[in-house]
Structure 1
Amino acid sequence: MSPMEVLTKNNDRLFVFTDLDDTLFASVKGQVSEHMIPSTVGVNGQPYAYSSVQQQKLLNVMIKSNAIIIPVTGRRSSSFLNCKLPAITNTDYAIVSHGAVILDNKHQLLDEWKVFLEQQFSLQLWHNKLVELYEKLSHYFEVINSGVRVRLIIDHGISTYLCLKISKDYADVKKIVQVNDYLESTLPKEMFLHANGRNFAILPPYARKKVAVDFLKKMMNVGELDTVFAMGDSHSDLPFMQDSDFLIVPQQAQIFKQE
């Protein structure tokens, strides 16, 4: 069998690891175009984000190519399931909660991932660290009346990350910089700060999109004859994207903006 015949026979898998928010859909300020489609809903069941014509076309290209699409999102499981795009929610796997959780095709915690986490990380120790930091930050921002809400996100029994959001009434540029600077100064070793506007996430070492993507690549035996696309917009997406064959980045991505 010639090299080209081998390539043709085996090169039948296209993997797409894709971020969601601001990549395949986005919230819309102002008038919603008639060509946009609702892609997620909020807690009230009303449309929260929309896919543009271009985003729809991109996803359709992947679908028609029989790509194995794997969402990679900072959204926790419940928020991920608010997505209304079947090609995203009806997948074999989904990486959620900034990479701390991998879901199977029934939207349950993947057994193999749970075993991996228990073997590689002390989840109880990190739970304790996150609770301690949660209490510290909650007290600090309450005392200074900063309009910052702090939450500990637990997904499928795993303490995944701390979520901080500045309320709209307080969220001017100066306040965002102040909060960012304080969090960076108090960030414990081995934790990572992900900032996006008035939203912040403090991530333990197992909440890394790249760790989860690498795990699934190994589990699915992604090899040299497979093709891997990676799509994303933020700095936290770059680590898993850089190990792909092709990177797809939206024009207005955070990646292109100077910090």
Structure 2
Amino acid sequence: MTALTPLILADLDDSLFQTRGKCGDWPEARLRPMSRLVDGAPSGYATPPQQGLLAWLAHGEVVPVTARSRAVLARVDIAQAPAICANGGCILTAEGTPDRVWHKRLEALAAAGTPPAALYPQLTDTLDSAAFRHWIVSDGGLDLYIVIKSNLGDEAGLAALAEALAERLPQGWRIHANGNNLAFLPPWLSKRAAVRYWLEAVRRDTPERLVVGIGDSWSDAGFLDLCHMAMIPTQAQLWQHIARGHSWIDG
């Protein structure tokens, strides 16, 4: 029996590529542009080792699992469908269309709780616009989560802001903080929930198929846990948490 192609559920930013500033000493000519801003300017790059990883992953089927919305995912040089976007707020089918069953499920869950638009002013009205930018991520007419970023790249200041705003969150809301990204997610939204839903059909039809997850952040642990195996960049937030104080990692 021929083995099935491995299924690779991959976070994107800081896993398969990152901003130029995070690429270390690699010269520009050795970097591969992977994502672009609205104006077409490059925003993310894969280093030579990451390029090797991408070539290796080409032997499987890569499915993005990303915080990027559909519009922002469209500016990444990677397979676009199927995909899980907006931290699980949208599932794209193999045809590139939103999964309507999943969308309706999220709409029902959202209607029973605090909408992001109601919470947004409480978190952002007093922020200095020179220091922070912020917005609500939406998809298909449904508000999903709130994002705050530092205009100055002040990650320590963003971490302090997260701690200060935590007490304003309704019950069940969670904070995702990683580098210059601060996100506030309602209880019904997560990559884990979307991946679990999506994998149900995969495992029903092909239970023997290998599923590998790739992720870098603390929040990615939720969907990595649903895979057979997990890959974590060793400079990533999640790996650093695992390695901190580990007795087998000794200089």
1:205-243 superposed Cα distances (whole Å, 9 cap, x missing partner): 232001111111102235542211000100111111022
Q: CA separation in 1, counterparts of 2:96 and 2:85?
A: 10
Give the equivalent residue in structure 2 for 1:215.
Answer: 197
Q: Does 1:70 align with 2:56?
A: no
Identify if the C-alpha distance between structure 1 residues 221 and 150 changes in structure 2 by more than 3 Å, giving closer, same or farther. same
> SS state of the match for residue 151, structure 1?
strand
Larger Rg computed on CA atoms:
1
Compute the TM-score of the two structures, normalised by the length of structure 1: 0.83
Q: Does 1:225 align with 2:208?
A: yes
Deviation, 1:55, is: 1.4
Deviation, 1:31, is: 6.5
Identify if the C-alpha distance between structure 1 residues 115 and 156 changes in structure 2 by more than 3 Å, giving closer, same or farther. closer
Deviation, 1:146, is: 7.5
> SS state of the match for residue 181, structure 1?
helix
Alpha-carbon RMSD across the aligned residues, in angstroms, is 2.3
Give the equivalent residue in structure 2 for 1:21.
Answer: 13
Give the equivalent residue in structure 2 for 1:81.
Answer: 74
> SS state of the match for residue 97, structure 2?
coil
Give the equivalent residue in structure 1 for 2:239.
Answer: 256
Counterpart residue identity of residue 110, structure 2? L
> SS state of the match for residue 95, structure 1?
strand
Give the one of 101, 104, 110 matched to 1:112.
101
Q: CA separation in 1, counterparts of 2:50 and 2:195?
A: 22
Q: CA separation in 2, counterparts of 1:57 and 1:32?
A: 17
Identify if the C-alpha distance between structure 1 residues 146 and 36 changes in structure 2 by more than 3 Å, giving closer, same or farther. closer
How many pairs does the alignment contain? 238
Give the equivalent residue in structure 2 for 1:35.
Answer: 30
> SS state of the match for residue 28, structure 2?
coil
Do 2:135 and 2:148's aligned partners in 1 also have CA atoms closer than 8 Å? yes
Q: CA separation in 2, counterparts of 1:81 and 1:177?
A: 29
Counterpart residue identity of residue 98, structure 1? N
Counterpart residue identity of residue 150, structure 2? I
> SS state of the match for residue 218, structure 2?
coil
> SS state of the match for residue 227, structure 2?
coil
Q: Does 1:123 align with 2:92?
A: no
Q: Does 1:187 align with 2:173?
A: no
Do 2:123 and 2:168's aligned partners in 1 also have CA atoms closer than 8 Å? no
Do 2:17 and 2:46's aligned partners in 1 also have CA atoms closer than 8 Å? yes
